[in-house]
A and B are shown apart, each in its own frame.
Chain A
Amino acid sequence: MATPTLPERSQLAYIASQAADSRLNVEIETEGMTLNIGPQHPATHGTLRIVAKLDGEQVIAAEPIMGYMHRGYEKLSEVRTYPQVTALVNRIDWMGSFANEVPFILAAEKLMEVEAPPRAQWIRTILFELSRIANVVLFLGDMAVQVGAITPVFYAFRDREYVLNQIEAVTGGRFHPNFDRIGGLKDDLPAGWIADTKAVLTKVDAFCDQLDTLLLGNEIFQARCRGVGVIPADVALSYGLSGANLRASGVDHDLRRDDPSGLVHDQIDWKVWTHPDGDSFARYWVRLQEVREAIKMVGQLLDGIPSGPIMAKVPRIIKVPAGEAYVATENPLGQMGYYVLSDGDLNPFRVKIRTPSFNNISICPWLLRGVYVPDIVTILGSLYFILGDIDR
């Protein structure tokens, strides 16, 4: 090939420089990379996999992939009797198992037009809130691990164990109590349990104060969480975010106060905490306040348990009359609801399980776009999901 003449060479050089300039002006071109996080990753509380497409350190698209733990509870519920279903739903959010049983039992009770006696309702509420404490306390420690602090999680595991011991003392199970019954509870409280629980509440309260001073004011923690993963209120609502994730975006909504459905939260004194920021720090802060609030709640509830039976009169073979009911409660992770459709038989005709984590994590593709790689882990941690609660 002949050497280009001078005008041609200058022309080619001009074109090449223009092309280089245009690339530079748009952005420095880097080779895209796909980063696979999980399914086995400590930040995923189970087996969630996130495929993130990166441009340098920045995420341009993130897609959660789940189903590694899908157990098909909606299908399985169709071939089990109503009392057998509680054993399944225990395993949805395994950190706060008892709270999973409550909305299902309430939905069945609503269809049967049965109401649990007051004592059962109070003890239900106590165990419900204890589940919240056991669940969220672990989050409070675990979130510290996501930003590189190791110590708090050991305190969290230690203090959660006290709460689990109390749940075990009543129900016989640390994680899967299977204790709630249509029309009441399986058993009454054991002797001396109230005093023991109060002692435990004091310990957990001290743990909360400790975290407050240990972590919330910490410069690294604030730098990693403040302004990271901001969710505006309207986006949170449109994705159906619930629980502390929604309240940390400034939406003042709590089913325990706004739509009480069979528990006794309306008979005690407590408040709903919100935070206007909507970032990872706000979500942590709201959860910390909620644990403190739950401690206050259980303290009041323990003082006011009414006497009486713990089971209403229900037939031994439970047939639920035909009808539809949707009952949702404010579970540790957010709004959990069961849409129970009965055709009047021994087993539900259709159960739709609305779990908080499924909606909470569905915001990930929106939220993770544009964040930096290290923030993926803190954002996921602050959204706080349990895989069993996503996959059902």
Chain B
Amino acid sequence: MADTDTESPAAQEDAPPSDDRRERLLEDLRPLLGDAIVSTHIDVGHDLYLRVDRAQWADIGTRLRDRGFQFFDFLSAIDWMASPFGRSMESYVDTIVAGEDPTAPPADMSMIGSGYAGGDTRFQLLARLYSVSESIGVVLKSDLPDDDLTIGSWSRVFGGASWHERETWEMFGITFTGHPGLRHIYLPGDFEGHPLRKDFPLLARHVKPWPGIVDVESMPGDDEGGN
């Protein structure tokens, strides 16, 4: 999954013609972004992934916008920590039968991986810009260290980034320096916690257990199944 190699042999074998476009785009962007690029990945025929330096994030937005990536697609974040609540999909009944303590967190709480273009930290910022004239998009990522969840704001570069940053701030607890007003956008003003973090429990699943992946209830007219 942590495939940072842009020229894997498999990519060259079944590369559709559009892949050359992204190779060329990447070569175009290298001098523009310079040492801000940490690693890259080309998802053949689909997207170009760039992991960039956190300190230069706001500046990168300006440079890419002036390069032609004027369409602001979205901005969000990824929490790479494995959920301490498991997948919340097994019913309590099933896990108790299997001899497990349903309330115990799973043994492995490490990060599950780091995705395309890599990543070293728990939180990773994620954004996508698009060039309408070239019909090509670029996915940007940036690592945020746990002890300093701040990054430059794009609100002065892209008008639409302001609301996306407010959402990311309330859902993940990432602060955007230079944002004119980081206020709650969906949640009530006095809400505590950051719901899209993996360690924020989905209470609905804890109040009433999910029936599980397999249908355990018998269907009407089903003589053999059920109780």
Contacts and interface: CB of A to CB of B under 8 A. Distances in A.
A363 B159 contact: yes
A346 B158 contact: no
B57 interface: no
B22 interface: no
A81 B211 CA distance: 13
A342 B169 CA distance: 23
Interface string B105-118: 00000001101100
A67 interface: yes
Given A349-B112, A362-B160, A75 B195 contact: yes
B63 to A, nearest CB: 15
Contacts of A259: 135, 137
Given A322-B1, A346-B87, A341 B73 contact: no
A241 B71 CA distance: 8
Residue among B87, B160, B184, B196 facing the most chain A CB atoms (10 A cut-off): B160
B163 A339 contact: no
B159 A235 contact: yes
Interface stretch (B74-82, B96-104, B144-152): B74-82
B158 A239 contact: yes
A325 interface: yes
A339 B73 CA distance: 11
B213 A358 contact: no
Contacts of B163: 358-359, 362
B128 interface: yes
Given A74-B196, A347-B87, A238 B76 contact: no
A285 to B, nearest CB: 21
A347 B83 CA distance: 12
A341 B135 contact: no
Given A75-B195, A234-B70, A67 B159 contact: no
Interface string A35-79: 000000000000000000000000000000011001010111011
Nearest to B79: A350
B185 A339 contact: no
Contacts of B53: none
Contacts of B71: 237, 240, 253
B217 to A, nearest CB: 16
Contact of B162 (A67, A81, A341, A362): A362
A259 to B, nearest CB: 6
A302 to B, nearest CB: 29
Contact of B74 (A79, A237, A352): A352
B44 to A, nearest CB: 11
B29 interface: no
Interface in A333-367: 335, 337, 339, 341, 343, 345-347, 349-350, 352, 354, 358-359, 362-363, 366
Contact of A339 (B76, B87, B112, B113): B76
B121 interface: no
B202 interface: yes
Contact of A238 (B113, B115, B160): B160
B23 interface: no
A61 to B, nearest CB: 12
Contacts of B89: 79-81, 346-347
Given A81-B213, A345-B87, A70 B186 contact: yes
A70 B170 CA distance: 13
B59 interface: no
Nearest to B181: A63
Interface in B115-166: 115-116, 126, 128, 132, 135, 137, 139, 157-160, 162-163
B205 interface: yes
A258 interface: yes
Given A253-B135, A358-B163, A359-B160, 7 more contacts: A66-B185, A67-B186, A79-B205, A240-B74, A326-B139, A339-B128, A347-B87
21 contacts: A70-B187, A78-B202, A79-B88, A79-B205, A81-B89, A81-B213, A237-B71, A237-B132, A238-B160, A239-B160, A253-B71, A253-B135, A258-B132, A259-B135, A259-B137, A325-B43, A326-B46, A326-B137, A326-B139, A350-B78, A352-B74
Nearest 9 interchain pairs by C-beta: A67-B186, A240-B160, A239-B160, A240-B72, A70-B186, A258-B135, A237-B70, A354-B74, A79-B88
